[in-house]
Chain A
């Protein structure tokens, strides 16, 4: 054990004493933050864009009047009310940068002209550098249908349509209602009438309780989202740590240190020491990033309305129960042991990364299977393939975090854990032999050699 810890300590210090390690600690989250923050910053720092809208009503039925009302309604973001009002208003202020201003018709357009005549003039009017109107709505009526032809400068194309799409259809609705002798008030009430539609799950409260969108969302989708996120995180962590182990062993093999180490410590001490050392490096990274994230989230939460912060806190506490965390860690440790030992054993046969590529190719294809499953799980979380593959021990560590988001029978958890730990035990036993053989020979690793190592009874090199 003493030797194992010494080796782990050396591995750990070899990484954390490098400038590159601390640079990567800082740069990785920095780059991640920049990827998210820069587009947001560009969006929030963008100036408010004003759409100057002129209406050319050629219907003769004064459609302009209700149209003006509609445009005035969407001219600026409305003040939100209710539980999420503060959040909504802050989001509007940050991201909704479009304002609409109604302007008089430009010179050269009037209600007496035909649509064709108007539309021969509009392009030139919009192209004028100091054009007063940036969008011109030409409204006409063929007796059966209202036509809204929205001309705009290229950067405002479809902006007004997006904002008024259903309202413009509403004007057509009102026209048809009027033509059929329906009282406009009745028609408006009919158009505005909505049934109450509520989606419920067994976890929802009793009838009459106030619906909390955030709490319900966290409760219904939180575990699944967290499961998928943790599945990806497990994959990336195991993959990157295994690559660290592989690189470390390749370096030792190339610098001829492995034989000296094997003459001083058992293969088990060496292998487990390395795995522990890299695990300690990962823990350091996790601790630093975790603390930073916790601090940022705590700071962020202090800016949130207290009820939202409280809902978030309760929601996350409901997901990360102690049992859930313990199971996640167990699956992670099993996966890390399986793949870490395998990659270290491969490294023992290689003096360069290029040597490793030949054997890594098929292994990477195998590793991509759970990755593809996790991507599929975003759209179809209950896909049977995910359930089936979660029983394959080498995929269990990646897919079980997904499945744990749903209630699972204890026997299923126990069996997947047992299968994974048995596979880890076998892979460690084979990896130990392979590591020793690779460290002491100059031969290349082939799948045939792996089969021979796996089936050999003695533990000699």
Chain B
């Protein structure tokens, strides 16, 4: 249903002269969901975000944002760019009020909200401090508040976790979850898969301007192979002879000084099958661990082939 969608891209391409930055990209983001927009550097994420915001026009295809064009819905969108910056000489609260004003929020309302949000972020003492006197982390928080103060329906965060310490990263994750609970749609790009893994219902993966995956986290993980880690006095031939083992790579020595093997399972085969065979053959397996693929593994598999 088009009414359920906050964002829809249909066959979108973008070329800068002879360079094709985005190629035939289509994906959808449902309202109220958190969607990770993942891809290596130069994948075309920023170009796509700029087209969504109407900052640049697609060479081909159609983008629908909150039921219309991005540049018509700017007041309903919150955007945190990858390259962050604020007016260095302005006070924190004045910057937020100014940017909220550009989004159509009355100064009095913006001032009240800004004050509340700054205090909630532990910046109550810095309300009237100029941006240049704040630490990098503090000014990033101010910028995030500027992006959210007008209570946008769609929030686009370009690499929001970069430059934040682990505590602030956790705080940002809470903010993103709260936004989703409030009903806002969040699209964020990141290199750190753990954040996407913890936050997203869906992810879109991009490499060299092409979409390589769109779906749920579970679907993404399924695209990556599962692994079995074995520790013991084992030869590669022994391991490869086990059922369901596709490859075996020696990954150094364990703490006990015995070999550690990293084994990739064939698609659809279980670790249990291989382990059972190993015990029946009386192989020297001192420790084993079946590891489910992470989003990081999926990312490497899905983007790595084309990335290489």
Which residues on the A side are within 8 Å of B50 (C-beta)? 440, 461
Closest chain A residue, CB of each to CB of B50: A440
Q: Which of B75-83, B120-128, B227-235, B259-267 contacts A (4 or more CB under 8 A)?
A: B75-83
List of 3 A-B pairs having minimum Cβ-Cβ separation, nearest first: A256-B85, A460-B57, A264-B102
16 pairs across A/B with beta carbons < 8 Å?
Answer: A3-B101, A3-B102, A7-B102, A10-B98, A252-B87, A255-B85, A255-B87, A256-B81, A257-B87, A260-B85, A262-B55, A263-B81, A436-B55, A440-B55, A460-B57, A461-B56
Contacts of B74 in A (CB 8 A): 263-265
The reply to whether B71 and A256 contact each other, CB–CB distance below 8 Å, is: no
Q: Are A14 and B89 CB-contacts (below 8 A) given A6-B98, A264-B74?
A: yes
Known: A14-B87, A436-B55, A461-B50. A265 touches B102 (CB 8 A): yes
Q: Is there a chain A Cβ closer than 8 Å to B146's Cβ?
A: yes
Inter-subunit contact A256/B55 (CB<8 Å): no
| Chain A positions 59-92 with a Cβ under 8 Å from a chain B Cβ | none
Q: Is B103 an interface residue (CB 8 A)?
A: yes
The secondary-structure label for the interface of chain B is loop
Determine the chain B residues whose CB is within 8 A of the CB of A436 once the complex forms: 55
Residues of chain A touching chain B, judged by Cβ–Cβ distance below 8 Å, are 2-3, 6-7, 10, 14, 252, 255-257, 259-266, 436, 440, 458-461
Taken together as a complex, chains A and B put the C-alpha atoms of A259 and B88 apart, in Å, by 15
B83:A259 contact, CB within 8 angstroms:
yes
Minimal Cβ-Cβ distance residue in A for B58: A460
Q: Does B53 sit within 8 A of A, measured CB to CB? A: yes
Q: Which residues of B contact A10 (CB under 8 A)?
A: 87, 98
User: Chain B interface (Cβ within 8 Å of chain A)?
Assistant: 50, 53, 55-57, 59, 71, 74, 77, 79, 81, 83-90, 98-99, 101-104, 143, 146
Contact of B79 among A3, A14, A255, A260 (CB under 8 A): A260
Check if B103 sits within 8 Å of A264, measured CB to CB.
yes
- Say whether, besides A262-B55, A460-B57, A6 and B102 are in contact (CB < 8 Å): yes
**What are the residues of chain A within 8 A of B57 when measuring CB–CB?**
458-460
Q: Is the interface of A mostly helix, strand, loop or mixed?
A: helix
Task: A2 to B81: give the CA distance in the assembly, Å.
Answer: 24
Chain A positions within 8 Å of B55 at CB level: 259, 262-263, 436, 440, 461
Query: For the complex, what is the distance from the CA of A436 to the CA of B77, rounded to whole Å?
Result: 19
A-chain residues with CB within 8 Å of residue B88 when the two chains form the complex: 255
Query: Shortest CB–CB separation between residue B88 and chain A, in angstroms?
Result: 6
Closest residue of chain A to B85 (Cβ to Cβ) is A256
Kindly state the separation between the CA atoms of A265 and B100 in the bound complex, as whole angstroms. 11
- Report A-chain residues with C-beta under 8 Å of the C-beta of B53: 263
Q: How long is the Cα–Cα vector from A130 to B59 in the complex, in angstroms?
A: 95
Which residue of the partner chain B has the closest CB to A255? B85
Contacting B83 at CB < 8 Å: which of A6, A252, A256, A264?
A256
Within 8 Å CB of A2, what residues of B?
104
* A257 surroundings in chain B (CB, below 8 A): 85-87
Q: In whole Å, how far is B106's beta carbon from the nearest beta carbon of chain A?
A: 11
Complex CA gap A264/B143 in Å reads 13
Residues of A within 8 A of B56 (CB): 440, 460-461
Closest to B88 in A: A255
- Given known contacts A6-B98, A14-B89, A440-B50, is B79 in contact with A263 (CB within 8 Å)? yes
| Cross-chain contact B87 with A263 (CB below 8 angstroms) | no
A-side contacts of B85, CB under 8 Å:
255-257, 260
Query: Which A residues are CB-close (under 8 A) to B98?
Result: 6, 10
Chain B residue at minimal CB-CB distance from A452: B17
A7: chain B residues at CB < 8 Å are 102
Set of chain A residues within 8 Å of B103, measured between Cβ atoms: 264
B136 to chain A, nearest CB (A): 13
Among B53, B90, B102, B104, chain A packs the most CB atoms within 10 A around the CB of B102
Alpha-carbon distance A461/B46, docked complex (angstroms): 13
Q: Please, which residues of chain A bring their CB within 8 A of the CB of B71?
A: 266
CB distance from A30 to the nearest CB of B (A): 26
Expressed in whole angstroms, the Cα–Cα distance for A440 and B49 within the complex equals 12
Closest chain B residue to A436 by CB distance?
B55
Closest Cβ neighbor of A269 among chain B residues = B102
Q: In the bound complex, do residue A259 and residue B81 qualify as a contact, i.e. CB atoms below 8 Å apart?
A: yes
Residues of B within 8 A of A260 (CB): 79, 81, 85-86, 99, 143, 146
Q: How far is the CB of B129 from chain A (nearest CB, A)?
A: 16
Point out the residues of chain B lying under 8 angstroms from A255, CB to CB. Answer: 85-88
Contacts of B86 in A (CB 8 A): 255, 257, 260
User: Besides the contacts A3-B102, A6-B102, A257-B87, what 17 more A-B pairs have beta carbons closer than 8 Å?
Assistant: A2-B104, A10-B87, A14-B87, A14-B90, A255-B88, A256-B83, A256-B85, A259-B83, A260-B86, A263-B77, A263-B79, A264-B99, A264-B103, A265-B102, A436-B55, A440-B55, A440-B56
